[in-house]
Amino acid sequence: MVWQVGVDSAHRGQGVASSLLQAVVDRAVSQGARWLETTITADNRASIALFSALARNRGARLSVGGLFGDDLFAGSHIAEDLYRIGPFV
């Protein structure tokens, strides 16, 4: 489960988050993990692109489904979708 990823705005778009995620996945896979899950809001284009690129670069499947509906956030936050990527080999 990846919960929160952030790169300082001065350093975005240079592959920092992609490199971080690749390293995390490499480490987790070496310990037996085969799947990664995260949640993303539908308005977060950068994060959707980041995790889509991870799946593409790993030749892994990416599935998206509803997880936390906006009714759970009492108007303070929009829905969080579940992104599931794998299996990693």
Ligand X SMILES: CC(C)(COP(=O)(O)OP(=O)(O)OC[C@H]1O[C@@H](n2cnc3c(N)ncnc32)[C@H](O)[C@@H]1OP(=O)(O)O)[C@@H](O)C(=O)NCCC(=O)NCCS
CB of 29 to ligand X, least distance (A): 19
Binding residue (CB under 6 A) for ligand X from 18, 24, 78, 81: 18
Q: Which of 29, 33, 53, 79 binds ligand X (CB under 6 A)?
A: 53
Distance, CA of 34 to CA of 30 (rounded, Å) = 10
Query: Which range, of 28-36, 42-50, 71-79, 80-88, touches ligand X by CB under 6 A?
Result: 42-50
Pairing of strands 61-68, 36-41: unpaired
- Which two tokens mark 2? 């990846």
Q: DSSP alpha helices (H): ranges in the chain?
A: 16-30, 45-58
- Residue 62 interacting with ligand X (CB under 6 A): no
Does the protein bind ligand X through residue 25 (CB under 6 A)? no
Sheet with 36-41: list strands edge to edge. Answer: 36-41, 80-86, 61-68
42 lies in the site for ligand X, by CB under 6 A: no
Q: Which residues of the shown chain bind ligand X in the complex (CB under 6 A)?
A: 4-7, 12-18, 44-47, 49-50, 53
